[in-house]
A = this chain, B = another copy of it.
Amino acid sequence: MILKQDAESPAEATSKGPPKPRLTAGQQSVLDVLQHQSQPLSAQALHGLMRRQQPIGLATIYRALDALKLLGLVQHRVTLTGETLYSAVEHDHHYLTCLQCGVSVPVDTCPVKELEAQLQGASSFRIYYHTLEFFGVCDQCEV
């Protein structure tokens, strides 16, 4: 597979925010794909997409996603079917999901930013991202 180990890590210039160590080739390609994607993707979907271009193992993708999460570059959410979906941290992705049919519609408002900043200060955590999901029943599924 590809192995270049180049790709100046993002936000390397400004020494602000979380540390940004160099990414492995696998991590970099996974991140690239996610950053060009408008929708969150599962690891297996990523695998399907990426293996066309450059062969890459599924295990590598899982490992890369974990590493990127830990670097604050990638966020995750879990669907009702138990799949984990990943997306680049930059846009919030919040949803309203039907517990019956599983349909998800995006929610564009996000009232959480302030609280996140506040928690950031009050806790001993470095906070990277949050998930906000609403669950209910859509009108199609209404009794």
Chain A residues with CB under 8 Å of chain B are 19, 69-70, 72, 75-76, 78, 82, 84, 96, 98-100, 105, 107, 109, 111-112, 114-116, 118-119, 123-139, 142-143
Q: Are B135 and A129 in contact (CB under 8 A)?
A: yes
Partner of A126, one of B69, B72, B84, B142: B142
Q: Are B136 and A133 in contact (CB under 8 A)?
A: no
Q: Are A137 and B112 in contact (CB under 8 A)?
A: no
The complex is assembled from copies of this chain, and their number is: 2
Q: Are A135 and B142 in contact (CB under 8 A)?
A: no
Pairs A–B under 8 Å by Cβ, sample size 6: A98-B125, A116-B134, A124-B139, A130-B133, A131-B132, A131-B133
Besides the contacts A96-B123, A127-B135, what 10 more A-B pairs have beta carbons closer than 8 Å? A19-B143, A70-B99, A82-B82, A96-B119, A109-B115, A111-B111, A111-B112, A112-B132, A125-B139, A131-B132
CA of A133 to CA of B142 in the docked complex: distance in angstroms?
28
Q: Are A100 and B70 in contact (CB under 8 A)?
A: yes
Residues of B within 8 A of A19 (CB): 143
Q: Are A131 and B131 in contact (CB under 8 A)?
A: yes
Q: Are B125 and A134 in contact (CB under 8 A)?
A: yes
CB-based nearest B residue for A19: B143
Residues of B within 8 A of A96 (CB): 119, 123, 125, 127
